[in-house]
Chain A
């Protein structure tokens, strides 16, 4: 009951708002104004990254030849199992100038107790963006633990010289709600990795959705799967209903599939996924949960 009372105060309509404002004492109003200004000023202080998002520094190192300082940034303060956008900045140690042209080949590696394996990744373009970052991506296919950790190797090619670097990844966590699912193809027993890129901030209404699909060719090779058919079907498991007018993701480029995902209300949604190669079913028992 108390909860509802609060709601009444907070959500009542325009008339109430006006009435309430007039009823408020001057001090209350000044506190309110101060609070509003505070919120506005906070919003303005946000430091925008390459696309307006804030970047967090993950780790840094120096290239093998000692000429370059390499820093790794991401959109979250901790990397997670799934598709992680990687922002790399390169700086010339002698001149102190940032490098804006470079060939970077990413080589993520998991050092397990008994073996090693790589992970799907996307190499950055040769030119840094206007903030000086080379943007690539890595799909971490398992979380790290105290005994088994990820490192990000890089082959660098800067103004004609070749060098390499290795960045220790401090930790890769398992998100509370997985954004990576794996399935074994029913036809050739290949292992596929499906990561959710979008929606990163799901909301009620139409959400652009983007998934990446990679498969395991060998322990060291995880190419993008570019010819799959993908179907999505959101459902609210506890309500036993779905949502209408979703658009199945289709391949755009480099293993990225884009579509539309509709949520009619907030809460726990489960997106059921079906994968096909041509008309042949690869898997239809995979799902990803999205709760907001």
Chain B
């Protein structure tokens, strides 16, 4: 049977890819023309690269130090402290990044430009959960429509650059560390090895984490907040000569026994594998920094409810009624992506520069649900089966171009555009029939042509003062859940969600500005952005369709509402009042409402993180405070309740001991010193965040 299924699938791939490229080549001249016309209208967003590293040299005083609470901060905890980034939390693991109110399909998450998609229908495995800081060189966040270098997006991009081995003089380096956290009685361990010479270089790293359910500030255990994971990354670089460099990456990430406090199910295993091959050519007469990459990744996600009490009393069940239903669910999901990209730079005139990128990816996804009933009144009931993510392929091919022009010594103009062509095809007959019920014939190709155009201008009139502003427009594809999801249960509002095959793309028009000021010992930046999102995709209650899941309150279908408006603001300050002291403060604010003035769900309140740092030589001491305003602008249709404001405080200290061949890094700290019982607005189910946590980390560098 396999052979027979396979042939049409592969024919389909080729057809899709062919179709993509034909359309793109046809559209290219039009795109270029459009770019010229829009020259004066649009603008671009500047990339803000925030470097994170697991072993930041202790004497390097940059903002980066503040983002990291210790050697073992997870990507989630680092990202949480970045400008405009908030995390949607469903348990202690795998938080879902949100950029100024934009999340999930509105945000492009990529790894070194490679696309990867979680395999969970309920977003229990955002791509960020399959990586560890030890894998990463940097984290690049671009807010808004300007994050289109890796794919069309309305909310921005979250690109994680993989750490690469270093070519150069013969070297070998090894480091290993371990740490303990009291709140979850959990441990983290890591090790990395680097070997390199002028031709070859290798870097391998491994991380292991095991945490039990943690205690909240009220002293109670927060149930189902445990997790365990193993991560392994190896990268090999080979330089044929200094201008022809090859690189191979392999990444493995397995999480298991992951609890999700706010959801009715946990995760038995979540496995990701990633393979990529890269060729780069840094120098060239015409094209510089040429990079080509092919990749493949696969994600398997298996939900597990074996630890949950799923005894539900049926309707009319009065207390004492023994006719209960005992149910177990099997919910596996798969998501495999293969793709390539090619990018490079070229000069255009003496003051202009063009960066171009051509990319294509093909994603396969599928998830299903089998429910095993054990009802007292109906023993031996056969299992119930439905395809929750119909087996489908989506191929997206795109071209991206960015033009930068130094108009004047103080003025810089940037312009970028992207066009994609996507083909989505559901190949499962069961799914065709599932959607037939709702009047859809999904046995066809779904095609879209999302475009985005951005322009920005930068002005540096005086030393230490910079002003930027931009305009952008972008469209984004609906996700597989939004288009073909079949009765996906959402624990936030308690509704089942049904995809809408005819859903249109979201279209965002955006305006933003940023002002920077710096003088020795002081830096400040303030930014604000406003997005008008036409055809905003939101779940809308449909009383005519009954829900499917036992615990669902009703059914919502994804619809394009008229529009939504999102406003975001950020303020960052860095100040060094006297030599060993420095202060860093970040404030973020987001406001979102629908066209009829209702609050959008999952909009964080005003939040501030302030850090005071004292550093002498190899010792540092850091006091941190997190403040959050209350969120009373809530979305009742989405089951939100007001979240009170809070303030929590942390203390950290670290020492670095340098011996001749060995460096010892010791860090310790107390998080949530006053054991405050609190939760943030984006925490589903309002379960308490960890209470007082004492940690101790030791890292050795050889």
Contacts and interface: CB of A to CB of B under 8 A. Distances in A.
B608 interface: no
Given A11-B366, A12-B334, A265-B384, A21 B3 contact: yes
A7 B298 contact: no
A13 interface: yes
A13 B439 contact: no
A264 B4 contact: no
A17 B8 CA distance: 12
A238 B373 CA distance: 8
Contacts of A262: 437
A18 B437 contact: no
Interface stretch (B18-26, B212-220, B544-552, B622-630): B544-552
Contacts of B338: 15
A204 B10 CA distance: 27
Nearest to A260: B437
A272 B43 CA distance: 61
Contacts of B314: 240
Interface string A264-278: 111110000000000
A244 B434 contact: no
B334 A239 contact: no
A204 B2 contact: no
A4 B302 contact: yes
Contact of A265 (B546, B548, B550): B548
Interface string A2-39: 01100110011111111011000000000011001001
Contacts of A17: 2, 5-6, 9
A53 interface: no
Contacts of A44: none
Interface residues of B, number: 57
A244 B302 contact: no
B1 interface: yes
Contacts of A242: 546
A290 to B, nearest CB: 11
B347 to A, nearest CB: 40
B544 A239 contact: no
A8 B332 contact: yes
Contacts of A238: 325, 327, 373, 375, 378, 381
B436 A205 contact: yes
Contacts of A206: 433, 436-437
A20 B364 CA distance: 16
B150 interface: no
Contact of A266 (B298, B364, B383, B439): B383
Contacts of B688: none
B546 A244 contact: yes
A291 B378 CA distance: 12
Nearest to B432: A205
B78 to A, nearest CB: 32
Given A13-B334, A204-B430, A245 B437 contact: yes
B13 to A, nearest CB: 8
Nearest to B297: A15
A237 interface: yes
Contact of B438 (A11, A20, A244): A244
Interface string B276-298: 00000000000000000000101
Nearest to B547: A241
A242 B385 CA distance: 15
Given A205-B432, A205-B436, A264 B332 contact: no
B502 interface: no
B382 interface: yes
A77 B195 CA distance: 74
A62 B517 CA distance: 107
B6 A21 contact: yes
B3 A14 contact: no
Contacts of B327: 238
A72 B188 CA distance: 76
Interface string A249-287: 000000000000011111110000000000000000000
A268 B486 CA distance: 19
B684 to A, nearest CB: 23
Interface in B323-341: 325, 327, 330, 332, 334, 336, 338
A270 to B, nearest CB: 10
A243 interface: yes
B546 A205 contact: no
Interface string A28-56: 00001100100100000000000000000
B300 A8 contact: yes
Interface in B45-94: none
Nearest to A234: B546
Contacts of B434: 204-205, 264
B487 interface: yes
23 contacts: A4-B302, A11-B366, A13-B391, A15-B296, A16-B298, A17-B2, A17-B5, A17-B6, A18-B6, A33-B3, A36-B3, A205-B433, A237-B378, A239-B371, A241-B546, A241-B552, A243-B437, A245-B437, A265-B369, A267-B373, A267-B381, A268-B378, A268-B382
Given A4-B302, A36-B1, A266-B383, 18 more contacts: A15-B296, A15-B298, A18-B10, A20-B2, A21-B3, A32-B3, A36-B3, A203-B433, A205-B430, A206-B437, A238-B381, A239-B384, A239-B548, A241-B552, A244-B546, A265-B548, A268-B373, A291-B381
Which 7 residue pairs spanning A and B have beta carbons closest together?
A205-B433, A267-B384, A265-B386, A13-B364, A14-B9, A262-B437, A266-B385
Interface of B: 1-6, 9-10, 13, 268, 296, 298, 300, 302, 314-315, 325, 327, 330, 332, 334, 336, 338, 364, 366, 368-369, 371, 373, 375, 378, 381-386, 391, 393, 430, 432-434, 436-439, 486-487, 544-550, 552
Interface of A: 1, 3-4, 7-8, 11-18, 20-21, 32-33, 36, 39, 203-206, 236-245, 262-268, 291-292
